[in-house]
Amino acid sequence: MVHQSVDSQASAVVGLQWGDEGKGKLVDLLASEFDAVVRYNGGANAGHSVVVGGERYSLHLVPSGILSPGVKAIIGNGVVIDPERLLEELKTLQDRGVDTSGMVISDRAHVVMPYHKAEDALREELLTAPVDGGSVQTKQVVSAIGTTRRGIGPAYADKVQRATAIRIGDLLNPEILASKLEMICAMKNTVFAALHPSEPEVFDAAQLTEEMVAIGKRLEPMIQDTAYLLDDLRRAGKSILFEGANATMLDVDHGTFPYVTSSNASALGIGPGSGVPPQAVTQIIGVVKAYCTRVGGGPMPTELFDAIGEDIRRRGREFGTTTGRPRRVGWLDLVALKYAAMISGATELCITLLDVLSGEPELKLAVAYDMPSGRTDRFIADGILLDDAVPVYETMVGFSEDITAVRSFDELPPSARAYIERIESFVGVPVGTVSVGPDREQTIRR
Ligand code: IMP
């Protein structure tokens, strides 16, 4: 039998740092050129801010493509969905006049249940309290992850555990759902009672079933087998844009483990999270801030604890979209960036928030790490070992001009251009886009 060829173009936008790189803006800019925008990983832990016509939209679960009329917004099977939050988000968009009829949800996406959020919070609390190692006191090497407490890790854990997982498709089958929840709630309640005997969380299977069946009815028109849908779209020659959530350095396999999220948040997650084969994606745009930020725990070698860090946080409005937490700020880490571009297979870079660096007399770039074992230019994908990394910096001249109105690469101050060219030469990937402000228009295409 002859294999039928699929003539379709797929691209991806993926964060190359620890999240919040401004992917939402880029996806929104590109979305109208595509027939479908697909989320393939993460859940309501992600926060994509998009400014359209001066209006700011904060999206957590809904793909940013929803803001482009006529584009299908697909939540793939690799996403973990808090269904109540999803409905709330859709309602907020509808109230603001956004057409959400293009929304599709995979029947195989997993559901974040209320007990997952309770488990997330409890685990973080338990990790914050020091562990008593018994007769030998050991130093606790892993502290709280600093999660968003959206139940992401526990939902993915149940997915991998299999028997204790609920998928979106289950919400449409009350009998299956009731039976699963009875078993799951009995197990969860026992675990909560053991881990937190003073105030154990108790979940009622019958009540949860009722709530989830009602939610399932509301979601039903959007639920489909999205692997087939995506294949149909590809066979019809339609173009697809994959929207990464979280970011490459938070990838559960290739990030700063254990200080990561629980999904393949690099471009490597596209295949398993959507059912689209890897060779389909030919363009991968890696989004990177002109400096580094991180929310939550875990190492960040170039972190700034001084007035420069404060300035950048203030100018960049570096406070979490999802949790409101102040973000940790640091110089651009080229060692980490080159590694992330490798893992995600970036074919081009988009540098965001370059305008925020205006006013800094000097700009530093980490080009190697000093480790106890010597100097290295390789990233150490281990959140415990990376803690010992001391960055080796290259210093460049900064720029003081306001660049928010600049619309072409050649109009940028020479030192800003040199900074971008240095990133490009170190990483070995061309910079295709530079963002100089939150609005759609504040973008330089090269
Ligand atoms: P979780 O995904 O809520 O389990 O959190 C795990 C880690 O990833 C924490 O340090 C979070 O702050 C971080 N994280 C998860 N999603 C994002 C994101 O979209 N942007 C930035 N950090 C994130």
In contact, 9 and 280? CB cutoff 8 Å: no
CA–CA separation, 174 and 169 (whole Å): 10
Query: In sequence order, what are the beta bridge partners of 224?
Result: 106
Our answer on whether the CB atom of 296 is closer than 6 Å to any ligand 1 atom is: yes
Give the list of residues 6+ apart from residue 239 with CB closer than 8 angstroms, or none: 8, 9, 10, 11, 33, 34, 35, 36
Residue ID of nearest Cα to ligand 1 atom 20: 19
CA–CA separation, 121 and 115 (whole Å): 10
3-class state of residue 355 by DSSP: helix
Say how many Å lie between the CA of residue 314 and the centre of ligand 1.
21
Our answer on whether the CB atom of 146 is closer than 6 Å to any ligand 1 atom is: yes
**Sheet strands (E) in 30-180:** 36-39, 48-52, 55-59, 72-75, 80-81, 103-106, 110-111
In contact, 363 and 416? CB cutoff 8 Å: no
CA–CA separation, 148 and 364 (whole Å): 30
CA–CA separation, 316 and 130 (whole Å): 35
Mutate which of 295, 321, 328 for ligand 1? The one with the most ligand atoms within 8 Å of its CB, which is 295
Based on C-alpha coordinates, what's the Rg of the chain? 22
Please give the number of the atom of ligand 1 that sits closest to the Cα of 296: 10
**Sheet strands (E) in 65-165:** 72-75, 80-81, 103-106, 110-111
CA–CA separation, 127 and 144 (whole Å): 5
Pairing of strands 48-52, 55-59: antiparallel
Give the list of residues 6+ apart from residue 250 with CB closer than 8 angstroms, or none: 18, 19, 256, 260, 261, 265
- Catalytic residue positions? 20, 48
Q: What is the pLDDT along the chain (446 residues), one digit of tens a residue?
A: 455 556 678 999 999 999 999 998 899 899 999 999 999 999 999 988 887 777 888 899 999 889 999 999 999 999 999 999 999 999 999 999 999 999 999 999 999 999 999 999 999 999 987 555 444 556 788 889 999 999 999 999 999 999 999 999 999 999 999 999 999 999 999 999 999 888 889 999 999 999 999 999 999 999 999 999 999 999 999 999 999 999 999 999 999 999 999 999 999 999 999 999 999 999 999 999 999 999 999 999 999 999 999 999 999 999 987 778 899 999 999 999 999 999 999 999 999 999 999 999 999 999 999 999 999 999 999 999 999 999 999 999 999 999 999 999 999 999 999 999 999 999 999 999 999 998 889 999 98
Mutate which of 246, 259, 266 for ligand 1? The one with the most ligand atoms within 8 Å of its CB, which is 246
Our answer on whether the CB atom of 150 is closer than 6 Å to any ligand 1 atom is: yes
Say how many Å lie between the CA of residue 146 and the centre of ligand 1.
8
Our answer on whether the CB atom of 14 is closer than 6 Å to any ligand 1 atom is: no
In contact, 45 and 148? CB cutoff 8 Å: yes
The per-residue pLDDT for 282 is 96
Determine the residue type at 325.
Answer: R
In contact, 270 and 276? CB cutoff 8 Å: yes
Sign of CA dihedral 74, 77, 79, 84: positive
pTM attached to this predicted model: 0.95
Q: How far is CA 274 from the centre of its chain?
A: 15
What is the b/e burial string over 303-334, where b = at least 16 CB atoms within 10 angstroms of the residue's CB?
A: bbeeebbebbbebbebebbbbeeebbbbbbbb
Of 7, 23, 63, nearest to 284 by C-alpha is: 23
Residues in the chain: 446
Say how many Å lie between the CA of residue 21 and the centre of ligand 1.
13
Our answer on whether the CB atom of 268 is closer than 6 Å to any ligand 1 atom is: no
